[in-house]
Amino acid sequence: MPEDPTWLNHFDAFSAFHWTTLGVCIALIVAWCVAGHRLAGEDRVDGGSRERRFRRALAWSFVAWQVFATIWRVLPGNFDINESLPLHLCRIVGWIAPVALLTMHWRWRAVVFFWGIGLSTQGFFTPMWHDGLASVAFWLYWVGHVIIIGTGVYDLAVLGYRPRLNHLGFASVAGVILTVGIAAFNVGCGTNYCYLGKGDYEGTSVVDHLGNWPARPAIIIGGSVFVFVVMYLIARGIETLATDRTRAKAKAA
Q: What digits encode the pLDDT tens for the residues 174-215?
A: 999 999 999 999 989 988 888 887 766 655 666 666 667 778
Contact 136, 73 (CB under 8 A): no
3 state SS for the chain = CCCCCCCCCCCCCCCHHHHHHHHHHHHHHHHHHHHHHHHHHHHHHHCCCHHHHHHHHHHHHHHHHHHHHHHHHHCCCCCCCCCCCCCCHHHHHHHHHHHHHHHCCHHHHHHHHHHHHHHHCHHHHCCCCCCCCCCHHHHHHHHHHHHHHHHHHHHHHCCCCCCCHHHHHHHHHHHHHHHHHHHHHHHHHCCCHHHCCCCCCCCCCHHHHCCCCCHHHHHHHHHHHHHHHHHHHHHHHHHHHHHHHHHHHHHHC
Q: What is the mean pLDDT of residues 30-51?
A: 89
Q: Is residue 55 part of a domain?
A: yes
- CA 74, distance to chain mean position in Å, is 22
Task: Judge whether residue 93 has pLDDT over 80.
Answer: yes
Q: Is residue 222 part of a domain?
A: yes
Cα angle: 90, vertex 92, 98; to 5 degrees: 95
Number of domains in the chain: 1
Q: Which amino acid type is present at position 170?
A: F
Q: Is residue 11 part of a domain?
A: no
Q: Is residue 10 part of a domain?
A: no
Q: What is the pLDDT of residue 12?
A: 87
Task: Judge whether residue 247 has pLDDT over 90.
Answer: no
Q: What's the pTM?
A: 0.89
- Of 155, 139, 133, 123, whose CA–CA distance to 65 is shortest? 139
Q: What digits encode the pLDDT tens for the residues 209-231?
A: 666 777 888 888 899 999 999 99
Q: What digits encode the pLDDT tens for the residues 13-27?
A: 889 999 999 999 999
Contact 176, 222 (CB under 8 A): no
Q: What is the pLDDT of residue 128?
A: 78
Q: Is residue 94 part of a domain?
A: yes
| Residue-range definition of the domain harbouring residue 139 | 16-252
Q: What is the pLDDT of residue 1?
A: 46
Q: Is residue 1 part of a domain?
A: no
Task: Judge whether residue 133 has pLDDT over 70.
Answer: yes
Of residues 134 and 100, the one with the higher pLDDT is: 100
Q: Is residue 9 part of a domain?
A: no
